[in-house]
Chains A and B, each alone.
Chain A
Amino acid sequence: MTEVRGDLRLELMAGEEAEAIARAVEALNPEAKVEEYPGLLIIRVPANSRMVIERARVEEELGRAFNLRDIQTMLAAFYGYWKETSPDRWVLEWMEK
């Protein structure tokens, strides 16, 4: 039934903070891809890697403090499992086999 595992994916309501998160993901994962839809920003990385959002990098992009828990104010969809949601970084991965 199952085919190749799909990309890890984060779908965020578009805006300044979503763009900063996309750039922070790209900084750590050169394979990251960002797509824009009306009102929506989609970030994908290959299934066999991981999506890491580091607070320090988001803050650098924004030029101000950012609380990672505010991701919940713009999180429209995700594909993967949250392996970490600590104050310093959030990590999305597929389950290890």
Chain B
Amino acid sequence: MAKKADIREATLRQLYENYGLTTADLEWEPSYVSKDEVSPPERRTRLPVKDWSKFEDPFRLFFEDYVRVQAEKETVFHDAIRLAERFGEARRINPRWIAGMKLYYPAVAQSEAEAHRGHLGLSRHSPSPALAMASFYQLLDELRHAQNDVHAMRYWVRYIDELKNWAQIYQNFWAMQVFRSLFEDMATPSDPFELVFHTNVALEMGYTNLLFVAAPTAGAANGDRVFAQLQMSTQSDETRHIALGQATLRALLEQENREELLPTLQYWFDKWTWRHHRVFGVTGIFLDYFAENKTMSYKEAFRKYFIEGYIQGLLEDFEPLGLKPPRFLDDIVKEAENYQSHQVWKLAFQYNYLNYFETFPPTEKDRAWLREKYPNWDQVVGWYWEQVDQGDPGIVQGLPLICNLCQFPIVYNPEDPDRPTNGSFRLRTTRYNGRTYYFCSDGCQYIFEHEPEKYAHAKTLTELVIEGKVPASVEGLREYMGLEPGWGGNLFEKPVWKEWLASQREG
């Protein structure tokens, strides 16, 4: 009698060699309803692509194997949470890192859910059966990731209060709007293939390694193994999505009529690379500030994963096919390597009375490390922290001007990289339909001017306050954002930090 393992092996081999069985051969022409009812023309791609057979899933995944592999990964993650709960690991995690997790989980859980919605569209309206299947596995991944992030928050609310309001915080918290703006765009792409540039190219090739590989090593170094396991497990799916992005890009750029496609593809490449840079710069603070035990700087992770892995990797292969470096790449490098994470951290501290997670001034040890990694750190923000050392609360009263495209406060100033916080930033404005819109950067303004009808209606939090739709008082704003009294503030002034220091002394 053949052993079960041998039968599996034979099936695996057959399916691998006859991948069409589970993709193109599953396609059928609908007969109960018209094709336009299944997939309305406005939801299908407008790209004039002639030959979709060029796309192939490099992993040749099929459903049975997907379930088996994912079940194994889920088991490991659930075991990690059980072990952490059983042995009280949360109490041995540095509170600085925990403060960061309060910011991290709501943003990431919802981004996964929006990516799920986006891929529902691509999977259904894809012109290529192989791509439809790959996108189908991806939408299952995204939903699983969202649920896993919520499961991780369930574990955390036993120890910390703030995550119990995560959904309201995601909707209304001031610093979440930059994430919301980007992620909700996943569910509303102008074209199914714009979604591929948003998720598979810019997000997954460009930035998930920073988020799901660099950040977990920092999590592990600060005692948070649940986070490390969860994010690495997530990234093991992202690698498949990256391969899907590579294969789609290649299939598009190898079309005979690629000259016709290039302007649209280049715009999507420029747009999404910039949009993700704007958002993921915010996550630089996990590596540079929240982590007390540091593994690498945001700048180092950016060079390794973004520049070497994404930009150079893609252009090496696709420049000969007509793809140009992303517009605004110089601004991206200048910001990420000089001041982006420092500006974000300073801003977060300036508004710590409107936060639900804690921030804190960098310690002497932090500062020595930051100066080593960022030689101009003192000019960029060191002077601000010296003021805080001398008793200045470092707080800013009143709401900041917020960029009408990315929805993040306007705090960057590429005009003066040596002292970007000197208040002399160049404000970019555009008039549209009788209204003035403000932008933080050339990148955000460029995107708005290409698609004003899409972005003009999104009001910033500051605009909502001015219009009286959101309360103008600190108390009212906190309530609107889902913040309870006592949340946020300076971590080093809270009992939890003193308890942590005492527990460290006891060893």
Residues of A near any B CB (own CB < 8 A): 1-3, 5-6, 11, 13, 37-40, 65, 67, 69-70, 72-79, 81-82, 85-87, 94-95, 97
Contact = CB atoms under 8 A, between A and B. Distances in A.
A97 B311 CA distance: 18
Given A73-B73, A76-B236, A82-B58, 8 more contacts: A6-B308, A6-B309, A39-B228, A40-B216, A74-B236, A76-B212, A81-B58, A95-B317
Contacts of A73: 69, 72-73, 76, 236
Contacts of A67: 12
Nearest to A13: B232
A76 B295 contact: no
Chain B, interface SS category: helix
B115 to A, nearest CB: 18
A75 to B, nearest CB: 5
A11 B213 contact: yes
Contacts of A95: 316-317
B315 A78 contact: no
Given A3-B312, A73-B73, A13 B217 contact: no
Given A2-B316, A2-B319, A82-B58, A77 B69 contact: no
B243 A82 contact: yes
A82 B308 contact: no
16 contacts: A1-B315, A2-B316, A11-B213, A13-B232, A38-B295, A40-B213, A40-B217, A70-B69, A76-B235, A77-B213, A77-B305, A79-B309, A81-B58, A81-B243, A81-B246, A94-B316
Contacts of A2: 312, 315-316, 319
Contacts of A77: 209, 213, 235, 239, 305, 309
Given A1-B325, A5-B316, A77-B209, A38 B220 contact: yes
Nearest to B69: A72
B312 A6 contact: yes
Contact of B213 (A1, A5, A76, A97): A76
Contacts of B213: 11, 40, 76-77
Contacts of B317: 94-95
Contacts of A70: 69, 72
B5 A65 contact: yes
A39 B217 contact: yes
Nearest to A6: B308
B313 A69 contact: no
Interface in B210-226: 212-213, 216-217, 220-221, 225
Interface string B192-231: 0000000000000000010011001100110001001100
Contacts of B12: 67, 69, 87
Given A1-B319, A65-B5, A95-B317, A78 B217 contact: no
B239 A78 contact: yes
A97 to B, nearest CB: 8
Contacts of B325: 1
* 9 nearest A-B residue pairs (beta carbon): A38-B220, A82-B58, A75-B239, A95-B317, A2-B316, A75-B236, A2-B315, A1-B325, A76-B235
B60 interface: yes
B65 interface: yes
Nearest to A82: B58
A97 B221 CA distance: 41
Given A11-B213, A70-B69, A85 B239 contact: no
B28 interface: no
Given A69-B65, A85-B59, A76 B312 contact: no
B89 to A, nearest CB: 15
A86 B58 CA distance: 10
Nearest to A88: B13
Q: Which of A39, A81, A94 has the most chain B CB atoms inside 10 A of its CB?
A: A39
Given A82-B58, A82-B59, A39 B16 contact: no
A37 B295 contact: yes
Contacts of B16: 85-87
Contacts of B313: 6, 79
Given A73-B69, A77-B239, A85-B59, A39 B232 contact: yes
A78 B239 CA distance: 7
Contacts of A82: 58-59, 243
Contacts of A81: 58, 243, 246
Contacts of B467: none
B342 interface: no
A72 B71 CA distance: 12
A87 B239 contact: no
B240 interface: yes
Contacts of B225: 39
Nearest to B296: A37
Interface string B15-27: 0100000000000
Contacts of B305: 77
B9 interface: yes
A44 B225 CA distance: 25
A5 to B, nearest CB: 6
A22 B488 CA distance: 45
A81 B314 CA distance: 11
Given A39-B228, A40-B213, A77-B213, A72 B315 contact: no
B178 to A, nearest CB: 25
Contact of A38 (B60, B76, B221): B221
Contacts of B228: 38-39
Contacts of A75: 236, 239
